Amino acid sequence: MTNSLPSPAFDDEAGCAGWLTSLPLTNIGFAQESLGDQLQRLAAADIDPLQRVKIAERLRETVLYLHGELAKRFVDRPLPLSDAESQAWQQALRLWTALWENYSACLRLLLDHDPRMEGWAARTVQRGLFVGKELMRLYGQARRQPTPEHWEELHAYYRFAEMLEVTSLAVRDKLLPHAEVISCYSTYAHALLLARADPCALTAREWELTDRWLQGWSRKFFPDKVFRPSEQVLLVIDLLQGTGLATREDAPDNSPPSLRYGSSDKLSVSLRQRQKRLQAGATPAELGLGDDVSVASAERLLAHLYERWCMLSVAQGAPAAKQQIAVCGGGLYAVFFRLSGRTFVGESTRDRLSYRAIEDAATFDTLPEHDSQRDQAEKDWPWESWVGDRLGFGGSLERRVPGNRMQLNQLLVARDATGRISCGIVSWLGELGTTLRIGIKLWPGEAGALILRAVSGVMRDEPAVPAIALPGVGREPSSFLLPPRYFQVGRRVETPGAGKRSFRLVKSLERGADFERVAFSVE
């Protein structure tokens, strides 16, 4: 093996253990740089293969720890990521790919039945598949698509497991504490199903829960060479293609040797049973979902996973049409500005009018107001040009030019070519190279902006807040979009100034990243 890099600081497990004791894990930047450098040197060095596996095993836990620390800098951030956030993601990517190279250096020796690697085939290949699974998790944390090269490497590891006849051989892995049975096939299935769960439609919390649940569920999905009919959809994977799982309604007439079939029947039963038991009053902890998960969160995520794994659903794709859509994000204050034509300042100047101005307002029912913040609002919350398709109350949009950052479940307003403005949220968010793509969900009806102030029993005014009123349509009641954590059951609010209108807040209908949708009754 040609070595163009300096020799590593150690070449056996004992030396690695000693080196790790001097690695300052409190300095994340230095630690990841030092570890990444040593992993690359090791991959290029000619060392005993069994010692390489044992060294990688020692370093794997440290890589996982540094991944977690680096992830704090880019997980659940608006897109596109800033330079600092993207750098942290790249640093985590470098660590895992460098570790992967060390496991890959042992594969040829396993195929050649090197006596030094006797009895280590299942464990070595499973560890390589684990690294591939962690890369799928890393891509999902940044709402990015895995590269074809990483998919091809992951598939190659599973082909090695098949050739070495260790796909179902049980191994132990302390880094998968929630797993019941661990093998090469279950770790490979974990990676496939994790990517199939569509992280661009999930919050960071939901993504981590999916990864945790799959430790116990992935063994229910076996990528098999033999086609077996399925009551649910047929999930297939081509080991020679740089892509993940795809759905088929039936097997192809001439199945290529690289195709693997997986039935989602067992997953379907597991998901459905948990959904039914939650509806019957069981707690998530009783169903093995964790005692840190609410019933509502569990029901929502289980429904999403059933759709992704057991139905003919696809992730958000490229827009089918190329309509020009103007979008303004920025949260509740930005939407208030675009719907009302003025910025929210807490109190309207109508509440501070002179006697003459009150008479003028009563006579002409209008009063011009000076908006000193308007110019700045136009800069902060511009109408941005997106391209895509808007069909009914949703659509898919993309933007290739720089602009404001977007966040999942963020409030926005969209304006089509006719000038019609609708209010909605970002329901899907992903970064594909230089393209930012979003899915939007729009509420029906014409939204209106208003100012609300809570009715207080004390001798002082409650601060006013911006609100967006949405009409009731069908079974959906009339509702307000309010600032987060403002809602209290039974809270009375009213519009300020003359002609006051009073409302009572009844029920929280939906929580987003920067708002809460609340049903109300008119007092």
Query: In terms of DSSP bridges, do strands 516-522 and 411-415 run parallel, antiparallel, or are they unpaired?
Result: unpaired
**What pLDDT, on a 0 to 100 scale, did the predictor assign at position 460?**
54
Among left, alpha and beta (phi > 0; psi -120 to 50; other), residue 426 is beta
Distance CA 256, CA 16 (A): 44
| Three-class SS state of 218 | helix
Termini Cα distance of the chain = 80
The number of angstroms, rounded, from the C-alpha of 438 to the middle of its chain's C-alpha atoms is 12
Distance CA 313, CA 310 (A): 8
**What pLDDT, on a 0 to 100 scale, did the predictor assign at position 351?**
43
What secondary structure does DSSP assign to 397-427, as a single string?
EEE-S----B-TT-EEEEE-TT--EEEEEEE
User: CB of 146 within 8 A of CB of 195?
Assistant: yes
Distance CA 469, CA 446 (A): 9
**What pLDDT, on a 0 to 100 scale, did the predictor assign at position 366?**
43
One-letter amino acid for residue 174 of the chain:
K
User: CB of 338 within 8 A of CB of 381?
Assistant: yes
**What pLDDT, on a 0 to 100 scale, did the predictor assign at position 336?**
95
CA distances from 503 to 438, 455, 479, 490 (A): 34, 10, 11, 9
Q: Which long-range contacts (CB under 8 A, 24 or more apart) does 363-371 make?
A: 369/342, 371/342, 371/343
**pTM for this prediction:** 0.90
Report the sign of the C-alpha dihedral through residues 305, 308, 313, 318, in that order. Answer: positive
Query: In terms of DSSP bridges, do strands 394-399 and 411-415 run parallel, antiparallel, or are they unpaired?
Result: unpaired
**What pLDDT, on a 0 to 100 scale, did the predictor assign at position 232?**
78
Low-confidence ranges of the chain (pLDDT < 70): 1-3, 250-251, 346-370, 457-461
- Nearest in space to 59 (alpha carbons), one of 2, 98, 4: 98
List, for residues 383-423, the tens digit of each pLDDT value. Answer: 999 999 887 788 899 998 788 999 999 999 999 888 889 99
- Quick one: tokens of 472? 């009731």
The number of angstroms, rounded, from the C-alpha of 194 to the middle of its chain's C-alpha atoms is 11
One-letter amino acid for residue 418 of the chain:
T
- Quick one: tokens of 287? 């169903």
Q: What is the 3-state secondary structure (H, E, C) of 329-364?
A: CCCHHHHHHHHHCCCCCCCCHHHHCCHHHHHHHHHH
Residues 6+ apart with CB under 8 A from 458: none
| Three-class SS state of 438 | strand
Share of the chain above pLDDT 70, in %: 93
